[in-house]
Structure 1
Amino acid sequence: MRSHISTARALRRPILINTLPSFYSNLIQALTPDYPRQDATSHTTAAAAHGGERARMTNFGAEQLIHEYQLFREALGEVCDTHGLALSPADWTIIDRSINTAIREAVREFTSIHEDLRHKMAAALSHDMRTPLAVIANGAQLIGVADDLAQAKRLGEKIAANAARLEAMVGEVLDALTTHRGERLPLQLSRFDMRELILLVQREFADRYPAALEMVAIGVEGWWCRDTMRRALENLVANAMKYGDGGPIRIELSTSHGNILLTVHNTGNPLSAEQRGRIFDYLRRERQVPGQAGWGIGLPFVKRAAESHGGSVAVDSAAQTGTTFLIDVPVDCRPYVDDGGRAGGWEAPAAPPALEVAALHRLLE
Structure 2
Amino acid sequence: MAERFRIPAPPRLPPLAASAVAIGLPLLMFALDSVFRVLLEGVPFVLFLLAVALASWVGGLVPGLVSVALSAALGYAFLRGSADPATVSGAHLAIAVFIPAAAVITAIGAAARAGFRERERVAETLRRSEARERAKAEELQAIMDAVPAAVLIAHDPDARTLTGSRAAYDLLRVPPGVNVSKSGERPPVHYRVMRNGKELSPQELPTQVAARSGARARDVEFEIVFDDGTRRTLLGNAEPLFDDQGRSRGAVSAFVDVTKLSEAVRTRDAFLSMASHELKTPITSLQLQVGSLLRAREGVPAPVAKAADATRRQVVRLTSLVNTLLDVSRLNEGRLQLEIEPVDLSALVSEVASRFVAETERSESRIRVDAAEAVCGRWDRLRLEQVLTNLLSNALKYGEGKPVSVRVQSDGATARLAVVDHGIGIAPSEQRRIFERFERGPATRGYGGFGLGLWITREIVSALGGTIHVESAPGAGSTFRVELPVTGPAAGASASERGDPA
Normalising by structure 1, report the TM-score: 0.45
Task: Flag the structure with larger Rg.
Answer: 2
Which of 1 and 2 has higher RCO (CA within 8 Å, sep 6+)?
A: 1
More strand by share: 2
